[in-house]
Structure formats: C-alpha cells, structure tokens
Amino acid sequence: MQHWVEEVKLSNGVEGLLIDAPSTNVTYMDIAFRAGYYLSPEGKMDTAHVMEHLALGANRLFKKASNFSQEFTKHGAYNNAYTGDYHMGYIAECAEFETTRILDLMCVAIESPLFLEKDFKSEVANVSEELKMRKNYHDVELMLELEDALGFVSKSYTTRTKQLSKITLDDIKNHYQTTHFSSNMRFIIAGPLARHKKAIIDRLENIELNKGDKRIDLPIEKPRKLEKPLDIKLDGLDNVYYRWNSVFNGLLDRHEKYSLYAVQDYLFSTFHSKVFGKARERGLVYGIDGSYYRSKSNHIWAVTGQVQSNNLVPLFKLITKELSNIQKGKVTKSELDGVKAYEWGSFQKSLQTVSALADWYQYAYLVGDIIKEYPAVEEQIFSVKPTDMKKVVNKMLESQAWGIGFMRQTKDKSPIDLVYEQLTNHYLG
C-alpha cells in the first residue's frame, strides 16, 4: 500500500508515527504506553491486564462504560485495548471523516479513567475467566512455561491465575499513575491524514497527562540454557506439544533478520518447505511452525507444533537433518529463489489495510524505535544468499541459550531426552 511515514516528536514528550495512506478511507490508531505484563508489580502480572479491561470504560465525560461505548460506535467506529509483554495500548478504527472525533474520545479515555470499584470487580472476574480459557491453549501455555524456565520475565497462565486474587483497585490506580505519562506514550496513526494532521498533533500535544522524566526502560532479560527438556504432564492430550526456543543474546542486524526469515520459510512455511513438506508426505505432522521475535536485548527463534508420540523422534531427525544441510551450505539457488518469491508475495498481500500497515510498523517501533525498514524490504528479501542463511543459523546456535519443552500425556513414554540430544549436537561452542 502506497504511504508516507512521518515521525513526530512533541514538546510534551509524546512521540509517534503518522502514516499517510491517501488511497484509503479508513483511519486506524494505536496509542501505547510501556505498561504491559512485564512492567506490572512483582507477583501481580495481570495488573496491566485488568487495567486494560477498565481502560475504555467510565471516564470524566461518560460515567457509565456503556454510554462511552455507545458514543464511540454510533457511526460505526471500533475501539479496543490490548496488553502485551511490554505495552498496554488503546486502538480504534473509524471512517476518515470521524478521525478527529474518535481521537478525542480516545484521549478522554486515556486522560480520565474513573476506575470504579464495581467495574473493577466485574473485570477481575472477566480476566479470571479469560485466563482459565487460555490455559486450554496448550501451545501458548507451553511457550510461557518455557520462557519462564529460560529466564525471561514470562509467567504461565496457571501462575497468573493464582496471582489474580492479590490485585487490588489501588494496584490498578498506581499502575496507571506510574505508566500513563506523556513521555512514556507512543502512537501510530494510519489512514488518509492530510486534512487531519494539524488536529491530530494539536490534540496529542495537549493531552492531559503529566510529562514525566523519560520513557520507562524495558527489562533486560538474560536467558540461559536448559540442561534437560522441560516436561509438562497433562491428562487429556492426544498429541505431544513441543516448543524449541533458540536465543541469541544480542540483536541481529537487519540483513541477519531477513536471512533468518528465509531459514524459517525454507524449512517450515509451505508444503514445499524442506521440513513441513517432507513431514506431511510421511504422515508425521499436520502442521509445524517456525517464528522469530525479539525482546529488548535478545532475538528468539522458535519451532513449535504438535505430533503423535511415535512420530516425535522421526520428526526431529528430519528437522536436524535439514538444519545440517543449511549449516553445510547445501541450499540451492532454485530453492532459495522459491523462498524469496513466497516472501515477497506474502509481504505485498499482507499490507492491504491501514490496520495491517500500522501493525507492521507497530512492534519494531514500540520496542526498538525502528521506522525506516519498509522501503528496504524488497532489497533485503532478494539479497539473501545461502551463505547468509548458514551464518545466521550458526549465530542463533552459538550463544548456548536455548531449551526445548514438551507438554504430553501423563503416561506418554516418548524419548524426549533423545530429541534434546539431537538438538544439542547442532549447538556450537
């Protein structure tokens, strides 16, 4: 989608991106504060989560949450809030002609939440139900357990459910006061912005928040190697869930990041991928996924999925074999050309709405203040070579910070130690 990006820095400490996409008739906005799970009070990780549930509710202009919601949506606008590891955010999507009115309503919600006792009790109950439901997302629960074991700030849904009863309304108010100041605020607003730019800047410049000293620092996490597999036993499972996390204690540069994308797609992303394609042909798995993400100070490469117990070892033999081929430089030009075509097509297809465009910028900007990557995507995709894939795989495997976790039936006898040994042989050092 054709667009222009302007980075804005206001006198009150607010910073953000204005993404002008003139061919659209919809505006999307995301206003975020460093106030997420990992910045909640110790032992009360879902303080941010409960605050999020209260965020777009009763405020100085609308004493009932339902009245605020009605005012917001009367012309078809959408609003919501979210909690991430680092950020708590407010989002809205509306018709272009509603841009300034909706932004003003968003600012009112941010400036003056009432945090009523009755609403607090209701939302704690809602969060409790949400956490109980999420405990059934076995892949996510395994991810959280593994990250916790590796030394990240993460906590499982099971642990967080136990902590929930400790959270008080005063905790919510204090978390708001310590995180919602203008220097800690970042925004991304995308859409046809030409005639709204001045009004947007004026409203954000005058948002009624304390300025504060500086943006809240993110936690520096120091992951470690697990000396044995994480093994979680749970009745009622038909398959073995697995997650392999490999952590580079540092940050990849841009070209290394795109090289890792190529590794992921070469191995896992399509029916033509080396691991996924062959695993499907052999009836080993229905699906498998490779992903890349970053913390403040680390890059994490994860391989996840579920598999029948008797297929676990054959699957990881296949994974380690194809990983070895990359490490030996056995990726052919035609294979890599296919990966590049898939990536470029997927990228173009994925950014056809203003919300998708904003989301693409969102994470890199909020965590790392990266804003200039979009024009370089095509060049980066097509410049990756087999040697680059080899280098980035070895880089991800050289830090010795890694682990694998399993979630399986209590009576499951699959040899997870053998899988751990298979992976160990590929780590350097």
pLDDT tens, position by position, 331-344 = 999 999 999 999 99
pLDDT, average across residues 7-18: 96
How many Å apart are CA 263 and CA 273, to the nearest integer?
10
pLDDT, average across residues 252-264: 94
Taking only the tens place, the pLDDT of each residue in 76-100 is: 999 999 999 999 999 999 999 999 9
The answer on pLDDT for 429 being more than 60 is: no
Taking only the tens place, the pLDDT of each residue in 343-394 is: 999 999 988 999 999 999 987 788 876 777 777 899 999 999 999 999 999 9
Give the pTM: 0.92
DSSP 397-423: TSS-EEEEEEEE-TT----HHHHHHHH
Tell the CATH topology of 230-424.
Cytochrome Bc1 Complex; Chain A, domain 1 (3.30.830)
Domain ranges for the chain: 4-205, 230-424
pLDDT, average across residues 303-316: 95
How does the average pLDDT of the chain come out, rounded? 93
Q: Which residue has the higher pLDDT, 261 or 371?
A: 261
Taking only the tens place, the pLDDT of each residue in 266-289 is: 999 999 899 999 999 999 998 899
The answer on pLDDT for 399 being more than 90 is: no
- Enumerate long-range contacts of 375-382, CB under 8 Å, 24 or more apart: 376/254, 377/347, 378/344, 380/254, 380/255, 380/258, 381/258, 381/261, 381/262, 381/340, 381/343, 381/344, 381/347, 382/340, 382/344
Same fold, 4-205 and 230-424: yes
Q: Which residue has the higher pLDDT, 220 or 324?
A: 324
| Percentage with pLDDT > 70 across the chain | 100
pLDDT of residue 426: 85
pLDDT of residue 96: 96
The answer on pLDDT for 10 being more than 80 is: yes
The answer on pLDDT for 296 being more than 90 is: no
Q: Which residue has the higher pLDDT, 238 or 367?
A: 238
CATH number of 4-205: 3.30.830.10
The answer on pLDDT for 140 being more than 60 is: yes
